[in-house]
Amino acid sequence: MVEPSPLARGPKERLEITRLEAGHSSATTDEVAREEPLQLLVDGAPVAILMRTPGWDLELCLGLLHAEGVIQRLSDVAMVRLAPSGQESWPPADLAVEAAPEAENLVDVHLRSPLPAGRLGWQRALPSSSACGICGSATMEALLRVQAPVLGRRIWPLSDILGLPGRLAESQPVFTSTGGLHAAGVVAFGQDKMAVAEDVGRHNAVDKLVGRALLEDRLPLSDCCLVVSGRAGFEIVQKAAAAQIQVLVSISAPSSLAVQTAETLGVTLVGFARGRSANVYSHPERLRLDPATASQPGR
């Protein structure tokens, strides 16, 4: 397993604050989650500025480009330019990296085959005129042109699914100390080990996990389940489907477009997974009630 890409700075920082309590004030310190901009370039051309928590920057950018359909595997990347790592174990031997001291908070991904002019991801092909706007139908139409459906039919015990949010919470060290980060975790069917990434954006955390899997040549993530803190929006479902993840679990609510996308692309979408209960919004055939849940009443 490769080591995570180095942090430009740590994912949290300690600040001096004034604490108000019971009518008194006192000077103290508090840890807050770090948020900084990261510029993503493709072949030297600016693509996006991502607000993220520093750390796993290369994974974040590769995961985003995978979700956008720009790259499918690590061999699509000729080289990347980013700040010096200072770690001999990074990057993987089969990825060329130019260490550039001036590239702080910047990742420049160079592709083996240049993209056609104007094509920097499926979402950038969406209509943008003020006359028609961007709606759910246009989004789905553009997505279905590039996204293959998730076909796996592995049957997951519901007790395993309901246990994932708790396992994710136990693997959030920065959230524990700051209370300011989202997290995403991926676990394979029948496995105990969960890969976890934290970030100020839950979609960034998902991209970091997919980017890590791409670097380790583990895509597609078939027979895997993704669990996210917070709600499940359209982007989370789309990224899960792009990685061929069968089941997506959220501790909060999905949006209507997320449900529509999950149903169309074959993702089992589970929301409000808390304690012994959950709502299943699409493809419930992948879930099985088992004695651990069927014998216990829901909340």
Average pLDDT over residues 155-165: 94
Q: Collect all residues with Cβ–Cβ distance below 8 Å to 204 and sequence separation of at least 6.
A: 50, 52, 53, 60
Residue 132 designated active-site: yes
Domains and CATH numbers, the chain: 156-294 (3.40.140.10)
Distance CA 244, CA 129 (A): 32
| Alpha helices per DSSP H over the chain | 57-67, 136-144, 158-169, 173-178, 202-215, 234-242, 256-265, 291-294
Cβ–Cβ < 8 Å for 142, 123: yes
Distance CA 89, CA 223 (A): 29
CA separation, residue 140 to residues 124, 134, 238 (Å): 13, 11, 10
Average pLDDT over residues 274-297: 79
Cβ–Cβ < 8 Å for 122, 72: no
Q: Residues 132, 135, 224, 225: which is the catalytic one? A: 132
Task: Give the bridge partners for 214, in sequence order.
Answer: none
pLDDT of 183-213, one tens digit each?
999 999 999 999 999 898 889 999 999 999 9
pLDDT at 86: 36
pLDDT at 138: 67
Mean predicted lDDT score pLDDT of the chain: 82
Query: Can you tell me whether residue 294 is helix, strand or coil?
Result: helix
Cβ–Cβ < 8 Å for 281, 262: yes
pLDDT of 165-174, one tens digit each?
999 988 876 6
Distance CA 256, CA 135 (A): 12
Residue 285 has pLDDT above 70, yes or no: yes
Cβ–Cβ < 8 Å for 270, 247: yes
Q: Collect all residues with Cβ–Cβ distance below 8 Å to 46 and sequence separation of at least 6.
A: 39, 40
Cα angle value 172/62/37 (rounded, 5°): 65
pLDDT of 10-35, one tens digit each?
777 777 877 878 878 889 887 777 78
- Band the pLDDT of 240: cuts 50, 70, 90: very high
CA separation, residue 57 to residues 40, 150, 204, 227, 286 (Å): 10, 27, 10, 21, 33
pLDDT of 43-89, one tens digit each?
998 888 989 988 899 999 999 999 988 999 999 999 999 887 534 45
pLDDT at 87: 42
Query: Can you tell me whether residue 126 is helix, strand or coil?
Result: coil
Average pLDDT over residues 224-249: 95
Residue 247 has pLDDT above 90, yes or no: yes
The more confident residue out of 261 and 34 is: 261
The more confident residue out of 130 and 241 is: 241
| Structure-token pair, residue 77 | 């990347």
**What's the 3-state SS for 140-180?**
HHHHHCCCCCCCCCCCEEHHHHHHHHHHHHCCCHHHHHHCC
Distance CA 149, CA 266 (A): 6
pTM for the full predicted model: 0.84
CA separation, residue 226 to residues 37, 61, 72, 186, 230 (Å): 26, 19, 19, 5, 13
